[in-house]
Chain A
Amino acid sequence: MALFAVLQTTFLLALLPLRTYQSEVLSEPLPLTPESLNVSINSTKQCLHLQWTVHSLDYHQELKMVFQIQISRFKASNVIWMGNYSTTVKRNQVLHWSWESELPLECAMHFVRMRTMVDDARIPAPRFWSNWSSWEKADAQSSLGDQPLYVFPKDKLVEEGSDVTICYISRNHQDNISCYLEDELTYGKQLDQNVWAFELKNVSFFRKSGTNFYCKGRGIPEGLVLFVSKVLEEPKDFSCETRDLKTLTCTWDPGKDTGLIQLPSYTLFESFSGKKTLCKHRNRCDWQVTQDPQETYNFTLVAENYFRKRSVNILFNLIHGVHPMAPYNLFPKNVNATHATMTWKVYSIGNNSALLCQLQLLGEGKVIQQHNVSVRVNGEYLLSELEPDTDYMARVCCAYADHFWKWSESISQKFTTGEAAPSEAPDVWRDVTFVSGHPTVTLFWKPLAKVHTNGKILFYNVVVENLDEPSSLEVLSVPAPANSTKVTLNQSSYQIHVTAHNSAGPSPASTVAISGHPGNENVEEGRMNGTEDGFPMSWKPQSRNATGYVVEWCDGPQNLPCILRWKNLGPTTTGTVISSGAFRPGVRYNFRIYEISTKRMAHLLEKKAGYLEELDNSVCCKYTIDNPDEKTFVVKALQPESVYEFLVTPYTSAGEGPLDDFTKVTTPDEYSHILLHIILPMIFCVLVVMITCYLKSQWLKDKCYPDIPDPYKSSVLSLIKFKENPHITIMNVNDCVPDAIEVVNKPEGSKTQFIGTRKSPTETKGTKPTYLDLLPTEKNYSGPGPCICFENFTYNRAASDLGYCGHFPVTPQAPPCQLGPLTSPENLLKTLEQNYMNSLGEIPAGEANLNYVSQLASPMSGDKESPPTNPPEPALCSEYKMQMALPLGLASPPPGEDSSLSSTTLSDPSQRH
Chain B
Amino acid sequence: MRAQRMQRTLPSLVLRLLFLGTVAMGKCSGKYHELLLQLQRQADLMQDPSTLLDPYVLLQGLHSPILKEHCRERPGDFPSEDALWKLSRQDFLRTLNATLGLVLRMLSALQQGLPEAAQQQAEMYIRGFGNNIHCMTQLLHSFSDPEAAEPTPPGPGPTLPPPLPTPPSTFQRKLRNCGFLRGYHRFMHAAGQVLRGWGERRGHSLRHRPRRALQRGARRTRPFLEVRRLVPRGQLPR
Contact = CB atoms under 8 A, between A and B. Distances in A.
B175 to A, nearest CB: 7
Interface string A210-235: 11111010001111110000000000
Interface in B164-199: 165-166, 169-172, 174-175
16 contacts: A155-B170, A180-B64, A180-B66, A183-B64, A209-B60, A209-B61, A212-B62, A212-B67, A212-B174, A214-B66, A221-B66, A221-B70, A222-B171, A222-B172, A224-B171, A261-B112
A182 interface: yes
Interface string A145-181: 1000001001100000000000000000000000010
Contacts of A155: 169-171
Contact of B174 (A145, A180, A222, A225): A225
Nearest to B168: A154
Contacts of A459: none
Interface of B: 59-62, 64, 66-67, 70, 112-113, 165-166, 169-172, 174-175
Nearest to A216: B66
Nearest first, the 9 closest Cβ-Cβ pairs linking A and B are A225-B170, A154-B169, A223-B171, A183-B64, A155-B170, A209-B60, A212-B61, A225-B171, A224-B171
Contacts of B70: 220-221
Contacts of B166: 145
B165 A225 contact: no
Nearest to A146: B165
A92 B116 CA distance: 57
Contacts of A224: 169-171
Given A209-B174, A214-B66, 4 more contacts: A209-B59, A209-B112, A221-B70, A225-B174
Contact of A214 (B67, B113, B165): B67
A169 to B, nearest CB: 14
Contacts of A211: 61
Interface residues of A, number: 23
A182 B112 CA distance: 20
B56 to A, nearest CB: 10
| Most chain B beta-carbon neighbours within 10 Å: one of A213, A222, A223 | A223
Nearest to A261: B112
Nearest to A178: B66
A206 B175 CA distance: 18
Nearest to B166: A145
Contacts of B66: 180, 214, 216, 221
Nearest to A153: B169
A145 B165 contact: yes
A151 B172 CA distance: 11
A182 B165 CA distance: 26
A154 B64 CA distance: 20
Contacts of A486: none
A207 interface: yes
A763 B35 CA distance: 79
Contacts of B113: 209
A220 B62 CA distance: 14
Contacts of A145: 165-166
| Most chain B beta-carbon neighbours within 10 Å: one of A151, A216, A221, A222 | A221
A213 B61 CA distance: 10
B64 A182 contact: yes
B1 to A, nearest CB: 14
A211 B169 CA distance: 13
Nearest to B59: A209
Contact of A221 (B60, B67, B112, B170): B67
Contacts of A180: 64, 66
A813 B52 CA distance: 90
A180 B166 CA distance: 24
B92 to A, nearest CB: 32
Interface string A835-852: 000000000000000000
A369 B68 CA distance: 69
B171 A182 contact: no
A43 to B, nearest CB: 11
Nearest to A183: B64
A213 B66 CA distance: 12
A223 B60 CA distance: 13
B112 A210 contact: no
A154 B172 CA distance: 9
Interface string A124-151: 0000000000000000000001000001
B60 to A, nearest CB: 5
A224 B170 CA distance: 7
A220 B113 CA distance: 21
B64 A225 contact: no
A223 B176 CA distance: 13
Contacts of A213: 171
| Most chain B beta-carbon neighbours within 10 Å: one of A155, A209, A210 | A209
A220 B168 CA distance: 14
Contacts of A214: 66-67, 171
Nearest to B62: A212
Nearest to B66: A216
A225 B168 CA distance: 12
Contacts of B175: 220-221
Interface string A643-686: 00000000000000000000000000000000000000000000
Nearest to A211: B61
Contacts of B61: 182, 206-207, 209-212
Interface in A504-530: none
Contacts of B172: 222
| Most chain A beta-carbon neighbours within 10 Å: one of B112, B170, B175 | B170
| Most chain A beta-carbon neighbours within 10 Å: one of B60, B62, B165 | B60
A659 to B, nearest CB: 75
| Most chain A beta-carbon neighbours within 10 Å: one of B62, B67, B171 | B171
A726 B49 CA distance: 101
A198 to B, nearest CB: 15
Interface string A182-219: 11000000000000000000000011011111101000
Contacts of B59: 207, 209
Contacts of B170: 154-155, 210, 224-225
Contacts of A210: 61, 170
A593 B169 CA distance: 102
B94 to A, nearest CB: 33
Contacts of A221: 66-67, 70, 175
A220 B60 CA distance: 17
A421 B169 CA distance: 85
Nearest to A207: B61
A216 B169 CA distance: 16
Contacts of B60: 209, 212
Contacts of A212: 60-62, 67, 171, 174
Contacts of B64: 180, 182-183
A224 B173 CA distance: 10
A225 B60 CA distance: 10
A203 to B, nearest CB: 14
A879 B174 CA distance: 91
A207 B62 CA distance: 12
A700 B171 CA distance: 94
Contacts of B171: 151, 155, 212-214, 222-225
A492 to B, nearest CB: 80
A210 B62 CA distance: 11
A70 B122 CA distance: 57
A261 B116 CA distance: 14
A221 B174 CA distance: 12
Contacts of A223: 169, 171
Contacts of B174: 209, 212, 225
Interface in A746-786: none
